[in-house]
Structure 1
Amino acid sequence: MAQTDDVVRLVRDVLGAGDIVGVYPHGSAVLGGLRPHSDIDLLVVARRRTTAGQRQALTDGLLALSGSGAPGEPLRPVELTVAVQDDIRPWAYPPRCEFQYGEWLRDAYLRGRTPEPGASPDLALLVTMVLRGSVALLGPDPDQVLDPVPPADVARAMVAGVPELLAELGTDTRNVLLTLARIWTSLATGDITSKDAAADWALARLPAVHRPVLARARAVYLGEEEERWDDLLPQVEPHAQYVVRRIGRLATH
């Protein structure tokens, strides 16, 4: 995909080819294939820490290469995560993330905010998906670069991300609903699936009153329906809270 190639080229130009261990896809690309509304999710494993100038250059470049997610946008949204190999191998929780770009923060980037390094439990899930996908866009195979993440760390990373997801329910409704379904599915089954497969699993277990919201999110994600929430808006919050309660019960066992 030309867009992915452009992002990899940006990373090479900014970080320097010699300072990149590898670039690896995760998310939908390795969990069943890209859907109409899928992001391009990439993990970059670097040899050394980034500078403020490099992080700014990555942000500026990605603002141009990443789609905003607006209807009719020709570019897919990009989620790019950079981690230093020595910060994630040997594995320790919580891992340190060197840089992360995501479209949910586009407005903040345009106001001058630049992603900063810091602890990122979500890397547990990203590394696990990268190893499962076993695809290298640049560098050696991921199992030569990354250590497996203990399942307990994957589970607690998922649970740690729930409050942030709920805070975005009103602005990123479809993605939040599908991600909550995937967390519920993963905690119950021990497997990480695509968002639509997780929605299928959850829909079979939801009370009838809570199914329409997730069914809409799944259909939009697959390109079967246009995105709209006005008709289901009163049901969105109760659905999310129901799923969060199910997640909470599994997390305490």
Structure 2
Amino acid sequence: MTLSIPPSIQCQTEAACRLITRVTGDTLRAIHLYGSAVAGGLKPNSDIDLLVTICQPLTEAQRATLMQELLALSSPPGASAEKRALEVTVVLYSQLVPWCFPPSREMQFGEWLREDICQGIYEPAQQDWDMVLLITQILETSIPLKGETRGTAVHASPCGAVAEGLALSPRPLAIHGRCAGR
């Protein structure tokens, strides 16, 4: 089955990819669309989930530029008929291959961070148990928007890591994977 970007988010997704490509430059390895946009259908308040894989850590200037400029491309859920909320997670390729547990994310943008971002407060790179679940989702159902396909840009997380990530994740997440043991 060939997956395609829902037409209702095509322009916003392309704008986010252009921004990410411009800011990350040669360090960009891949951008993947995942989540409800490809797995189960967009609901009125669904966000657009993007995983960005890079080869080098972000500089503080890159982090600030991404965070500030993503604000203009994103909108709080239900606040705009033209724009959806964006959730952009940036990870270093070296966190994925070879698999590191617990994985770290380089950056995360989401509407829940809007107030901090507006004040110039950006989370640093940090360990994130949710990355295990996110990677599982990417491998199950995602669309490569830029760069490598999911099989080459992202390798499978060990089944034990998925179970541990589920147990340690601060927010519940329904996944459809073989490793969840459910």
Do they fold alike, i.e. is TM over 0.5? yes
RMSD: 2.2
> Residue by residue, what CA displacement relative to the aligned partner does 1:143-188 show, whole Å, maximum 9, x if unpaired?
01211012221222233223xx4xxxxxxxxxxxxxx3727x8799
In terms of Rg, which structure is larger? 1
* TM-aligned CA distance change 1:141 to 1:97, over 3 Å: same
The counterpart of 2:116, out of the listed 69, 94, 108, is: 108
Partner residue of 2:22? 13
Per the alignment, residue 177 of structure 1 pairs with none
Residue of structure 2 in register with 1:174 after alignment: none
- Map Cα deviations across residues 168-227 of structure 1 (whole Å, 9 max, x no partner): xxxxxxxxxxxx3727x8799647xxxxxxxxxxxxxxxxxxxxxxxxxxxxxxxxxxxx
* Distance in 2 separating the partners of 1:186 and 1:146: 16
- CA distance in 2: counterparts of 1:189 and 1:47, whole angstroms: 29
In structure 2, the partner of 1:226 is: none
Of 68, 73, 84 in structure 1, the residue corresponding to residue 92 of structure 2 is 84
More strand by share: 2
Q: How far off is 1:74 after superposition?
A: 2.6
Q: Distance in 2 between matches of 1:53 and 1:189?
A: 38
Report the AA paired with residue 174 of structure 2: R
Matches within 5 A, 1:65-84: 65-84=73-92
Cα deviations by residue, 1:17-58 (Å, 9 ceiling, x for unpaired): x21111001211232222221110000010111100000000
Q: Please give the per-residue CA displacement for 1:61-120, whole angstroms capped at 9, x wherever unaligned.
A: 111001111444431100001111012211121111111101111111112211311111
CA drift of 1:122 comes to 1.0
Larger CA deviation: 94-103 vs 125-134: 125-134
CA contact (8 A) 2:162 2:179 kept: no
Match of 2:4 in 1: none
Matches within 5 A, 1:103-142: 103-142=111-150
Which of 12, 15, 36 aligns to 1:3? It is 12
Please give the alpha-carbon distance, in whole angstroms, between the structure 2 residues aligned to 1:68 and 1:95.
Answer: 28
Residue type of the partner of 1:182?
A
Gaps of 5+ in 1: 166-179, 192-253
Aligned equivalents of 1:92 and 1:188: distance in 2? 17
The question of 1:23 aligning with 2:15 is answered no
Contact 2:163 2:179 in 1 (8 A): no
Secondary structure of 1:115's counterpart equals coil
Please give the secondary structure, in 1, of the residue aligned with 2:56. coil
Gaps of 5+ in 2: 1-9
Alignment of 1:76-225 (within 5 A): 76-162=84-170, 165=171, 180=172, 182=174, 190=181
Q: 1:118 to 1:189 in 2, by over 3 A?
A: closer
Aligned pair count reads: 173
Distance 1:186 1:141 in 2: 19
**Secondary structure, counterpart of 1:182 in structure 2:** coil
Answering whether residue 63 of structure 2 is matched by residue 49 of structure 1, we say no
Contact 1:101 1:115 in 2 (8 A): no
Q: TM-score, normalised by structure 1?
A: 0.63
Percentage of pairs with the same residue: 34
Distance in 2 separating the partners of 1:189 and 1:120: 18
Instruction: Supply the distance in 1 between the matched residues of 2:52 and 2:162 (Cα, whole angstroms).
Output: 19
In 1: Cα distance, 2:122 partner to 2:79 partner: 26
